[in-house]
């Protein structure tokens, strides 16, 4: 039911406006009667779906610092029962909105206000966002004009390209840009020694084979929000026959994908969709295979080969749109067919592809390495912390 409501809010401009005006006004009025707690921090990641991404990286950094021991750090989840060891609140409930009005600090990678506008002037709002955009986002999407990040204090960017997109897509102000790269990617800039070997052992991956991380993005719902399914036109038996001696595949569905069709898992194709940290999967992967996902920009930090399987490119381009032609900008031309993709993998010049990825990274990912530290220092003024 919640997914259906979200679908309607996303695609019906009249319902969007009623929702924003009525509830936004109500919560702004209510906020006058809720006292701000200067040591309360509200976190959310992907609209409460998980405990991960850049907000978690910032949370982990704060937990490691003694100056934040007296702070209360609350996570908003769709299902708080999944996280019994955290201080939680159920997102989109009245308790959630009241806590948001009370919290001095908001930290998220999507939004806190849930499409409304009730932020107090005293509230410090940090949005790390969750990816560099290939496909159109925010107000750049057809039919969307409801994004407004102009009240955010800090919006994380990874380079000049982000700044341009965020101004058009979110109405973001240039003086809000925090040029530090997404905190979740700190580990990609500074991989811990022996971390990849440790993870391979943890996941029982053979050491004599290369790992392909297949991470396609989500597809828009075709049934009014009931499901968000993906069905790549692939024959995995063919993949195993042609690639099985040298490779294994980790399949990672997008967080918002609710149904994966046509894929059967075995020793060759492993299900990695529930693995909590995609960056750890990137560290152990030799090749990233994706389509329109922002994962390509993250993986570029490692300067390893990036291949794209854009089997529905023309349709996707018409329905969603992209900021640029993938074939002109990505490290390698997108594969349109399964056979083309398999042949590309089998004839891959690994060193040459790494060089292409390095050039791609220089264009889109100019900042990074200490994102969590930079965000915390920006949001929590050191002088103020020392007084408490």
Whether residue 100 is found in the same domain as residue 248: no
How many CA atoms are closer than 13 Å to the CA of 358, on its beta-carbon side? 6
C-alpha dist (Å) from residue 217 to 37, 51, 107, 196, 220: 38, 19, 24, 24, 10
How many domains, in total, are found in the chain?
Answer: 2
Specify whether 202 is located in the same domain as 177.
no
Place of tokens 């530290």: 373
CB-CB contact of 213 with 281 (8 Å)? yes
User: Structure pTM?
Assistant: 0.88
What per-residue string of b and e applies to 326-337 under the rule 16 or more CB within 10 Å gives b? beeebbbebbbe
Q: For the chain of 388 residues, list the mean pLDDT of each consecutive stretch of 10.
A: 55 66 82 94 95 97 97 98 98 96 97 92 97 94 88 97 97 97 97 92 94 87 64 90 97 77 88 91 97 95 97 85 92 94 97 98 98 97 51
Q: Which residues contact 367 (CB under 8 A, 6 or more apart)?
A: 157, 158, 159, 179, 180, 181
The CATH number of residue 200's host domain is: 3.40.50.12580
Tell whether 156 and 206 lie within a shared domain. no
CB atoms near residue 13 (< 10 Å): 13
SS3 at position 318: helix
Q: Is the same domain home to 183 and 148?
A: yes
The pLDDT score that the predictor gives to residue 9 is 53
176 and 200 both lie in a single domain: no
> Rounded to 5 degrees, what are φ and ψ at 346?
-65, -25
Pair 17, 25: CB distance under 8 Å:
no
Pair (183, 215) in one structural domain: no
Q: Are residues 170 and 228 in the same domain?
A: no
**233 contact partners, CB below 8 Å, separation of at least 6:** 262, 311, 338
Short-list 155, 183, 186, 137, CA closest to 301: 186
Same domain for 57 and 178, yes or no, is yes
Residue 341: CB partners within 8 Å, gap ≥ 6?
Answer: 289, 307, 309, 335
Measured CA to CA, the distance from residue 159 to residue 132 in angstroms comes to: 9
pLDDT of 231 reads 78
Angle at 248 between CA 244 and CA 254, to 5 degrees: 135
The answer on 67 and 163 residing in a single domain is: yes
How far is Cα 244 from Cα 301, in angstroms, rounded to an integer? Answer: 27
Q: Which residue from 144, 147, 151, 152 is spatially nearest to 170, judged by alpha carbons? A: 147
Whether 162 and 32 map to the same domain: the answer is yes
Same domain as 296, residue 317: yes
The SS3 of residue 234 is coil
What's the CATH number where 172 sits?
A: 3.40.50.11820
Full residue range of the structural domain in which residue 124 is found: 2-187+369-387
**Do 235 and 276 belong to one domain?**
yes
Whether residue 267 contacts residue 236, with contact meaning beta carbons closer than 8 Å, is answered with no
Alpha-helical runs (H) found in 112-263: 160-170, 186-189, 195-202, 236-243
pLDDT at position 22: 77
């Amino acid at each position: 039911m919640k997914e259906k409501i979200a679908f309607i809010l996303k695609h019906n401009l009249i319902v969007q406006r009623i929702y924003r005006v009525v509830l936004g006004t109500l919560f702004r009025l209510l906020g006058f009667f809720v006292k701000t707690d200067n040591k309360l921090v509200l976190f959310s990641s992907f609209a409460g779906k998980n405990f991960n991404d850049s907000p978690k990286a910032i949370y982990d950094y704060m937990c490691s610092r003694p100056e934040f021991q007296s702070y209360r750090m609350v996570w908003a989840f769709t299902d708080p029962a999944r996280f019994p060891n955290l201080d939680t609140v159920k997102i989109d409930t009245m308790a959630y909105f009241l806590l948001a009005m009370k919290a001095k600090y908001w930290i998220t990678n999507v939004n806190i206000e849930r499409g409304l506008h009730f932020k107090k002037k005293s509230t410090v709002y940090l949005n790390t966002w969750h990816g560099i955009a290939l496909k159109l986002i925010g107000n750049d999407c057809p039919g969307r004009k409801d994004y407004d990040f102009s009240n955010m204090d800090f919006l994380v960017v990874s380079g000049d390209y982000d700044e341009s997109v965020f101004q058009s897509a979110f109405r973001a102000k240039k003086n809000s840009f925090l040029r530090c790269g997404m905190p979740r990617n700190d580990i990609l800039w500074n991989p811990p020694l022996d971390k990849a070997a440790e993870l391979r052992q943890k996941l029982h991956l053979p050491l004599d084979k290369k790992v392909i991380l297949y991470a396609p993005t989500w597809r828009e719902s075709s049934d009014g929000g009931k499901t968000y399914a993906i069905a790549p036109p692939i024959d995995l038996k063919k993949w195993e026959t042609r690639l099985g001696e040298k490779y294994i595949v980790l399949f990672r569905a997008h967080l918002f994908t609710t149904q994966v069709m046509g894929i059967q898992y075995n020793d060759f194709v492993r299900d990695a969709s529930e693995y909590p940290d995609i960056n750890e999967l990137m560290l152990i992967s030799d090749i990233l295979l994706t389509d329109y996902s922002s994962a390509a920009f993250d993986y570029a930090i490692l300067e390893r080969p990036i291949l794209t399987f854009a089997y529905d490119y023309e349709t996707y381009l018409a329905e969603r749109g992209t900021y640029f032609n993938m074939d002109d900008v990505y490290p390698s031309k997108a594969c349109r067919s399964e056979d083309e993709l398999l042949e590309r993998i089998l004839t891959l010049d690994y060193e040459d592809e790494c060089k292409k990825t390095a050039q791609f990274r220089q264009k889109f990912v100019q900042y990074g390495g200490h994102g969590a530290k930079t965000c915390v220092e920006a949001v929590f003024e050191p002088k103020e912390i020392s007084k408490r």
